[in-house]
Amino acid sequence: MELRNIAIIAHVDHGKTTLVDEMLKQSGNYRKNEKTVERAMDSNDLERERGITILAKATSVVWKGVRINVVDTPGHADFGGEVERILSMVDGVVLLVDAAEGPMPQTKFVTSKALAQGLRPIVVLNKVDKSDGEPDRALDECFDLFANLDATDEQLDFPTLYASGRSGWADEELDGPRKDLDALFDLIVAHVPAPAQAEHRDEPFRMLATTLGGDPYLGRILTGRVENGTLKAGTSIKAITQDGALIENFRVTKILAFRGLVQQPIDVAEAGDIVSIAGMSKSTVADTLCAIEVTEGIHAQPIDPPTISVTFGINDSPLAGRDGDKVQSRVIRARLMREAESNVAIRVTDTPGGDAFEVAGRGELQMGVLIENMRREGFELSISRPQVLFREENGERLEPIEEVTIDVDDEYSGAVIEKLAGRKGEVVEMRPAGVGKTRIIAHVPSRGLIGYHGEFLTDTRGTGVLNRVFHEWAPFKGAIPGRRSGVLISMEGGTSVAYALFNLEDRGRMFIGAQVQVYQGMIIGEHSRGNDLEVNPLKGKKLTNVRASGTDEAVRLTTPIRLSLEQAIAYVDTDELVEVTPKAIRLRKRHLDPHERKRESRKMSE
């Protein structure tokens, strides 16, 4: 059977997963009476809750006798490591662009990676049936984007389709029949070349591992595209590094191929097909799986380096071990090492002392997803504030700069620009983006964006849209002011009392309500002034035998602020930690004892 390997790439929320749903339905992967789910490719709980794709996943459809392997990729820059690896497995990409928004920062990021691989994209202008859709403008912007990214003449001559993934149609003309996705399937078969690897069927077997998975019955599973030869289940092969060094010899216990939404065992894997192999115990992503006689590894794409780091430590608070069952540092270390093995964009290093680990990655969202997954697995952790990673080049200190694209109502643009300036950002472009809206493009240090998203939503009354992508390394921009307000710290341990919290409300905004377990050194609220303040949330009302009208009424507390995991991580200062357990997210001081805190602050000021 003829083969085509494609990836679907796009900015966040431009409709990749929804389009794949329709492709599966219209290619006959479901029975007529079979119940289907929305966003079938987003199988992970977190992906369904957040409405984003985190892990790249493959599926396959058969169209007019041709098998099309389709890979759905994440849109967020934080998961760009997934996209970079996947592009080395495919021969073509379908670039989805929202007809209203046009190319966005992540469109630029994934397109640059695809063009660098020499792939010739198919551009699909999606959501053309939206009331604010401007497909002609979006198409012009796509041409400009390709030209700016130094696309070749062949790549600039890209075919275009107009589509609505949700309605399940794609046409060559904007005013076409709007019935089905036949035009898309036909264009993929005609435009995307068959895998060149198919010509190397008679050579010894070689395959580059691009994603790592696991199965409770099969163990370790590596997925990739077969570059040379064929492979039968039961064959003995080996794994080598890019330099040809032997990692291990093993017997292939199972070969799985993507057939619709499920992976099915097959007897023979052929050159050009995307398959998963089981049987190895040590080999991982970027290793070459090959026949015993092969001596050369396959070159793997270099991955962009991490830009931020977060310290994961054991939970040593007085409430440790009450919610989770995975609290030891060796268990945390094993889990982080497993993550770093399957996720090439993450790097884990031990810190002196062995109780904490520095995890470097692409962004706050990527870290938030990892921490959320770990807490659901029963881990208890203490998490530090994200720190930006710096580089030294020719004696100069460089820091990562991000390109931020903001769509905001005109009335809020002034407030946004003022905040960006305070965070050492430089506005490089500002133009109208539809009726009453402004698009602001700015270059801002990654340091300045930590914790900014929540502030941005407040400034724009929740109507603004902010997207960011790594731009370049640039000389250090100088100090950026941190959090302006101090915190309210509990001076005792016990259960919080409504009466005490009511009397503390004029001191600041609370993070906890009544009847909540607190401990000495735990942060229970935000102070209305710039300094930290120790308070007692356990102080009850003194009872007397004198009664007066109005004094015994029930106290009414203001609803406390509930910080999400990402908000909490961005909120804490360098001397604070986020305590994460399966049931709670608490803020605390790094040193719980007040005398120890004073000693540390004296040391820092010396």
307 has a pLDDT exceeding 70: yes
Q: What are the extents of the domains in the chain?
A: 2-194, 201-290, 391-475, 487-544+552-605
Count of residues for the chain? 606
Compute CA 248 distance to the chain's CA centroid, rounded to the nearest angstrom.
32
The answer to whether 486 and 573 have CB atoms below 8 angstroms apart is no
Tell me if residue 404 falls in helix, strand or coil.
Answer: strand
* Confidence (pLDDT) at 454: 73
Confidence of residue 60 (pLDDT cuts 50, 70, 90): confident
* Confidence (pLDDT) at 548: 54
* Confidence (pLDDT) at 490: 93
Q: Taking residues 24-45, what's their average pLDDT?
A: 49
- pLDDT tens digit sequence for 242-275: 888 999 999 999 998 887 767 789 999 988 888 9
- pLDDT tens digit sequence for 595-605: 998 888 888 77
Closest residue by Cα to residue 121 from 79, 149, 81:
149
4 has a pLDDT exceeding 70: yes
Fold of 2-194: Rossmann fold (3.40.50)
CA 404 – CA 104 distance, rounded (Å): 10
* Confidence (pLDDT) at 37: 39
* Confidence (pLDDT) at 30: 44
**What sign has the CA pseudo-torsion 353, 354, 360, 361?**
negative
Copy the structure tokens of residue 377.
């697995």
The answer to whether 522 and 587 have CB atoms below 8 angstroms apart is yes
Mean per-residue pLDDT of the chain: 83
Buried/exposed code over 406-435 (b: 16+ C-beta within 10 A; e: otherwise):
bbbeeebbebbbebbeebbbebeeeeebee
- Which homologous superfamily is 487-544+552-605 in? bipa protein (2.40.50.250)
Confidence of residue 57 (pLDDT cuts 50, 70, 90): low
Question: Tell me, what DSSP letter sits at residue 412?
Answer: G
Fold of 201-290: Elongation Factor Tu (Ef-tu); domain 3 (2.40.30)
Closest residue by Cα to residue 555 from 545, 544, 536, 541:
541
Cα–Cα–Cα angle for 362, 289, 260, rounded to 5 degrees: 70
Which stretch of 163-167, 405-409, 456-460, 538-542 has the lowest confidence by average pLDDT? 538-542
CATH number of 391-475: 3.30.70.240
* Confidence (pLDDT) at 28: 64
CA 283 – CA 319 distance, rounded (Å): 40
